[in-house]
Amino acid sequence: MNPVLEEDEEYDNDDRYNRPLLRKVSADKKRDKSTVIDFSNNDGPDDTSIQRVYLEEEDLNILLVGYKFNRYRLYIYYILCVLTGGIFYLIGRWIPKLWVWSVGNVCELGKAEWVVVKNQWGDVSIEHVIRKYYGGTISSVFPVDHPEDNNVSRLASYRTDDILHNLHFFDHRYIRFIYNPILGKFVQNNFWKDPTWVSVKMLKKGVNRETRNEREIIFGQNLIDIQEKSTAQLLIEEALHPFYIFQIFSIVLWCLDEYYYYATCIFIISVTSIITTLIDIKQTMKKLREMSKFICNVRIFRGNLWRYVSSEELVPGDVFEISDKHLHIFPCDAVLLSGDCIVNESMLTGESIPVSKLPIDDTSLHILDLTTTNVRPEVAKHFLFSGTKIVRVRRAKSGITSSSADVGNTSDDDGALAMVVRTGFNTTKGSLIRSMLFPKPHKFKFYRDSFRFIGVLAIIAAIGFLISTYNFIRLGVNAVIIILRALDLITIVVPPALPATMTIGTNFAIGRLKKEGIFCISPTRVNVGGKLNVMCFDKTGTLTEDGLDVLGVRFINQTSSRFTELHTTVDTLSKSDSNTNNYSIPPILCAMTTCHSLKLVNGELIGDPLDLKMFDFTKWILEESGQGVSSGALDLPASSTHSGRPSSPTGAGGIVPTVVRPPNSRQFDLAEVFDADGKNGDGKPTPFIELGIIRTFEFVSSLRRMSVLVKRLRNQTIEVYVKGAPEVMRDICRADSFPEDYDELLHYYTHNGFRVIACASRSFTDLSWMKAQKIKREQIEQDLEFIGIIIFENKLKPGTASVVETLKRAKIRQIMCTGDNVLTAISVSRECGLINKASKVYVPRFAQGSSLSSRASILWESLDNPKDSLDSTTLKQIISVSQDFPSEYPFIGPYEYDLAVTGDVFRWIIDYGDEMTLYRMLVKGQIFARMSPDEKHELVEKLQEIGYCVGFCGDGANDCGALKAADVGLSLSDAEASVAAPFTSRNMDISCVIEVIKEGRAALVTSFSCFKYMALYSIIQFTTVSILYYYGSNLGNLQFLYIDLFLILPIAVLMGRTEPFPRIHPKRPTASLVSKKVLTPVIGQILIQSGIQFLVLIIIHNQPWYRKPTFNPNETDIKNFDNSMLFLLSCFQYIIIAAVFSVGPPYRKSMFTNVPFIITAAFFTLLNAVILISPSNVVVNLLELENIDYLFRWYLLAIVIADFLISFFMEKYVFDVISRWIGTVIDGSTKSDKKMFKKILAEMDAKEP
């Protein structure tokens, strides 16, 4: 029994929407990420030879089977390859299962020479097992560090300190699988974590040389190096493709038949195609290698010494210095041990905003989880990703951050240090590269049906082969001629140019998109764009402008205990506070200038866009230690008193890293200060204002706020400023500090799409610097005084509303998928028209429990009226009897509503909710807010699961997963990560979506037209040749050449040049070649064209001047009446079919706008008419035409005109009616739509009795 050859339910890949078992396995594995390998006893007949593995990172189930070579079978295989002239080798190459069966035997995984890997898509690959001497302990390769792991109890019964002499491993998709002799299974090494990584102090010791050598054997070099095949290998692989083998067969056949002209042309075209493909592959691989491969010198601490080594030599556990001036890009995944830095992570996330990184502590180290590439938010601020660029590094300073003195090197005891945790393809960058190299297959009906259609043509060819062979034998034709003619019939029915013509429309579409600034790296996705029925949009940077603008500020009027008027400039804000003098500032302004995470790099502020806009609004100046700030002025001694002369302005010895001050103000100068009371010689206050930020508590998503400790110049008080979501302020502020109109104003701004940030403050008069560095966050973020709100507006991009309206008219569903606040998302959706302003919007909340509890319950409430709710299971409106819906607006009745889903509810319903509730939420949800990158990715996959063809458009910021998962991903980002999306637009608005859909529809219709045209061309020529074969005749070589090269090729190419229709039609074009709409006209035209050929044949046979072909068993008679009439008629039929199949509106413009096609068709029509009516002697001799009666020539031309009129009339008015009638007869009243989402929508929209 061969397990790989068996097709079981779990690995059935016919329908991606019909894999319940696989979905269940995937879901179970996602909930328990520690369970990587399934140790159940359902592995087949021999549990030791088969293993199922779930690759959680790629959502891929693979089956591993161990094999050894069978020497006898191997010799037989070689003999068969030789005896069949290499045909058996080719079949084994195209069908790996046959090769596996031919040369190998199933064996235990531990004894396997090679492993067969099969995934749920049916792809089979063969990986050779490498054996390498190791010599370390078993625990150093397979650490037992997860108490919750199901395999621990199994491992605990063995001595893991025993020596492992040899490692058995193989690499699949650049993931290394190492054989665990205790478990008898292969285990991935990308989840490896050293059990000794328990404290930062332990990490700083690095690794010794012996440990380093062992780990290099386990993980290999720290290198993301894509294996690039040589030109010879690529050439052989391309040439041995079934398509090119068929072309080689055709060329050889034509040469034997002395059809040298066309054979030479096809040979040149094939060679050009192969060379072009090789160049494209080499360029793509070169680009990927340049992007992925990175080597630099790194200063590492190894064996108690600092030294420079190549980054290739890094292994997990190595400690290296990131403050080294030669290091600009991180060569591996690492955690920061000391110092701090700012990095640009746009390569990985598309997010152009630099991110601050802080040293890791023991708590964060304990929750460091390396079993997934997605790092937890609590750890991300300490995690340095491979490939990210270093913007700035600051060394550790004594007294502030942990010192590197523990390392044992006194010369660099203030360096910024990091420890390697993942290397090579195990890093986050490696994962991104793998996803580009091995994207999840997107099955598209058109491509599947096209191969089926070719299969049908092949069957027709086989039937024709048998019939013609029988006929030639009946006529007594020479055996060699019989073989040549019968095989030639196969190349006629399945023309070698057929696959190439299918891509013509796609290539024209890609060219037009490029002119619009839209670039495509996956041509097959162009046609898929024509079938989109749901489009997901990110909000910020996609539907709206990149950043938020400050609309204004409102704080509390102490007299009325209400908010002040909106202050739109900082000047009115400063003047408005009656309690301030010339040298004091309102608390809200202090919060705006200090409560942020901005950094100064090369004289430019970088940080979160919201913080940047807020700080720019104040017009203040930010300076950092060592950059001209009077840092000593804000130095604090250990006690609470402030004394001592300040250090020099440029000194780096200050312990306050960041200082802010008003515009046009001077730095503090002690020489100008005469007394401790702050009075100068004139008795006026000293005009100096400086605020020093002495500690920052970063924004935490779970708390939804950040805070800072601030020391004001010449003031003993330390002030706390907090900014965050207005909802959290009630919990941390005194109730009496809120204005009376707080809720009213907050409701107004949030429900009208504005982003509101609330601010609060508190003062400490007895807090020393040392205490300020040790005080806990919860101690300062309590008992605060509310001081005001900052209102931001997120403006729509100019073209957003018009694009949304266009897609609405086209009945393409649109979904907003954002990480922003749900209320802001709803407001923006209403503003741009994504949801109807009259529609009710229901938002979920947890009525009981939380997203982490399986027993939680969800309540769906109307945004405008919390009393209105939905049934938590059916998601239908609960209509009370008292509700009155006006009869004059029946369409805004109780069934018109949308859902705005939050990320936590989305996660809970997937993990714990009812499956049908999830599907109902997917079909009714228009807004998905507070969504993480993983949840965006999962949303796309769930929409696909219920039958949607999904597009995703984002600016690249955290959208990489969703862009890759979507059927059509469209990135508005120029970041490197955008290469993971099939389409990238230089135009930074969503108008590109319209272009992709229009071009996709035009390309899809063009592909259908070209395919139908080539099919009819084959059948017409097949009919012509079959008739002539019956009479022992055939078309001449120059006749074939005129048809195949001069007539068909230009027409087939140019008919795909028609541009898309300017408007998107509500009905999508079909994607099925075997649908009634496609097959009816194809079969109808076959009957019409074949019927007319037979009609002309009958008519000519009854003419008094007709003479039968002369039969010669050793030579084909070309020059006869049958040949001439059928050749001339078919030449017109090829043009007629091209005109009939050149589909115009509603997906493409009229064919008359395609000027090159019209000119070409007109030229050949005129040329054919001349050859028919009045050919020159040269043409008659070249094409071997018989001298036909002159009047009959005009009669034949009239038949051609009638042929065109009949074909056009039937195509335009009759075939569509017939296809609908056939659908009614076949399907009748039992017709049901296969798409699950349509069934769910119909069920939800059905009115209750």
Active site residues: 538
Cα distances (Å, whole numbers) of residue 353 to 342, 389, 701: 10, 12, 17
Contact 360, 336 (CB under 8 A): yes
DSSP string, 620-638: -EEEETTTT--GGGG---S
Spatial distance between the Cα atoms of 822 and 595, rounded to a whole number of angstroms: 24
Paired with 117 in beta bridges are: 64, 125
- Which of 827, 839, 833, 720 has its CA nearest to residue 779? 720
Spatial distance between the Cα atoms of 224 and 210, rounded to a whole number of angstroms: 24
Residue 713 has a CB neighbour count (10 Å cut-off) of: 18
Half-sphere exposure of 627 (CA within 13 A, CB side): 17
- The end-to-end CA distance of the chain, in Å, is 58
Measured over the CA atoms of residue 1128, residue 1129, residue 1135 and residue 1138, the dihedral's sign is: negative
Amino acid type, 642: H
- Which of 163, 165, 158, 133 has its CA nearest to residue 144? 158
Contact 719, 762 (CB under 8 A): yes
Spatial distance between the Cα atoms of 994 and 1121, rounded to a whole number of angstroms: 54
Residue 556, both tokens:
């509390």
For residue 149, the Cα-to-chain-centroid distance in whole angstroms is 32
Measured over the CA atoms of residue 779, residue 782, residue 784 and residue 789, the dihedral's sign is: positive
Spatial distance between the Cα atoms of 473 and 479, rounded to a whole number of angstroms: 8
Spatial distance between the Cα atoms of 616 and 612, rounded to a whole number of angstroms: 6
Spatial distance between the Cα atoms of 837 and 896, rounded to a whole number of angstroms: 11
- Element of type H or E holding 421: strand 417-422
For residue 624, the Cα-to-chain-centroid distance in whole angstroms is 40
Ramachandran class of 396: left when φ > 0, alpha when ψ lies in -120 to 50, beta otherwise: beta
Cα distances (Å, whole numbers) of residue 967 to 123, 522, 525, 536, 963: 20, 11, 7, 11, 8
Cα distances (Å, whole numbers) of residue 328 to 111, 308, 626, 788: 45, 15, 21, 42
Q: Burial letters for 1056-1093: b for 16+ Cβ neighbours within 10 Å, e otherwise?
A: bbbebbeebeeebbbbebeebbbbbbbebbbebbbebb
Half-sphere exposure of 294 (CA within 13 A, CB side): 21
The tokens 């959502």 sit on which residue?
A: 59
Q: Report residue 1001: phi and psi, to 5°.
A: -65, -45
Residue 720, both tokens:
């706390």
